[in-house]
Structure 1
């Protein structure tokens, strides 16, 4: 399959405005590919640059070195072929659920009647068909995540970028949302780059899991194909022997990096 996302030798170095001599390299020499229709998760310690890679792919951040290619073409500016689901709620509080899902379509120039019909359809698909008139403060955390998901998918992006989208949810709601995403992905087969701290989540959802080293200058240090048959239920798959084997293998690579990251945080706090 053709590559939807190609990161080639990407390095991101940040320079302090107050002290230009102070530099911090978040990621260094990262090469990563996501094929069309592939679901790839990136895991690693806190502060290893996972979100930096997502922002580079979205075109929100230009790499200091290296190249980003989207479906074979160099990325210049915002990645218009990607939809981004953030960790924090991205809903506008003054708009209803329906209004929030319509917003991106309206900004893109979709006629109002068509935008409304698409937004209503996607609210139904994520289980919010009767909640279109609710404002964000009137919705539960799970409902807000469903509305955010509909907001992204209504634009029909070729690439979906997800930055720990379910981390704030309780475990039952989280599993429901994970299965919802897998069902929608199975139907559309978009390229997905998924960032998570949760190794169980990464294995249960992905075709491939990439492990990042502890920062600074983080880089991929392991890559694992998840050969568990689909479709999957994220709760049930965790009890299978193959899941446990993969978890042990990936954690064997990840464990030392998590400890390194933790020690670095302690030194910074001292």
Structure 2
């Protein structure tokens, strides 16, 4: 089948703002694909270019080299078949939860009543049926993440791009959100490209995990099929023998790169 996302030989090189003339290659020679209905996570050291690849797949960043195809077609400009859930807050503080969720529908020209009904339905799906009139400051961190999730999924994208969306949450809320995402994904089976620094999260949620090297010129150094049966509870499967085996195998590839990335961060801070 034609992949939903297909990156081939992608490189992203930037000119340094601090030292004009100097160039920094964040990722180089990256080839990866995400099948329709597949959940793929990318892990790697801090600063290895994970979010850069997500921005390339979203059409927010044009690669310096290589090709990007979405369902077999070359990507030109913004990827209109993708929904993007950011790591940082994406809700508009002056709009209620309902109005945040229906904003994308408004921009698409969906009639007001239809947009409102769809927003209410998605708030119910993420467990916020009675909170549509609340403003972001009146919601907990987990509730704001649920609203952001509804905001992304209400547009029914064929591809979901997620950039460490739960990293700021406490562990209990995080696990609840992870399970909710898996339930919603199982119902619709969209293609998901998920960026995380948390190896446990990547294994628990994914069909495949791709490991990136430390930067600069980060590139894939490992790919692992996650053959744990679904449906999964992200807390329960972490005690299973297969989860522990996969974690050890992936960490054996990641460990040296994480140490390299850590040393690079120390050098930058010195």
State TM-score, norm by structure 1.
0.99
2:161 maps to 1:157: no
2:29 maps to 1:29: yes
CA distance in 2, matches of 1:269, 1:18: 15
Q: Which residue of 2 aligns with 1:170?
A: 170
* 1:266 Cα deviation from its structure 2 partner: 1.2
Query: What is the DSSP-based 3-state SS (H/G/I as helix, E as strand, rest coil) of the residue aligned with 1:182?
Result: helix
Q: Deviations over 1:25-66 (max 9, x none)?
A: 000010000000000000000000000000000000000111
Q: Which residue of 1 aligns with 2:192?
A: 192
Q: Which residue of 2 aligns with 1:95?
A: 95
Gaps of 5+ in 1: none
CA distance in 2, matches of 1:131, 1:265: 41
CA distance in 1, matches of 2:105, 2:137: 22
* 1:20 Cα deviation from its structure 2 partner: 3.5
- How many residues align? The count is 270
Gaps of 5+ in 2: none
CA distance in 2, matches of 1:74, 1:119: 32
Query: What is the DSSP-based 3-state SS (H/G/I as helix, E as strand, rest coil) of the residue aligned with 1:3?
Result: coil
Q: Which residue of 1 aligns with 2:183?
A: 183
Q: Which residue of 1 aligns with 2:215?
A: 215
* 1:17 Cα deviation from its structure 2 partner: 4.7
Q: Which residue of 2 aligns with 1:82?
A: 82
* 1:16 Cα deviation from its structure 2 partner: 2.7
* 1:19 Cα deviation from its structure 2 partner: 4.0
* 1:268 Cα deviation from its structure 2 partner: 1.4
Query: What is the DSSP-based 3-state SS (H/G/I as helix, E as strand, rest coil) of the residue aligned with 1:109?
Result: coil
Q: Which residue of 1 aligns with 2:8?
A: 8
2:135 maps to 1:135: yes
CA distance in 2, matches of 1:180, 1:268: 38
Query: What is the DSSP-based 3-state SS (H/G/I as helix, E as strand, rest coil) of the residue aligned with 1:254?
Result: helix
* 1:269 Cα deviation from its structure 2 partner: 1.5
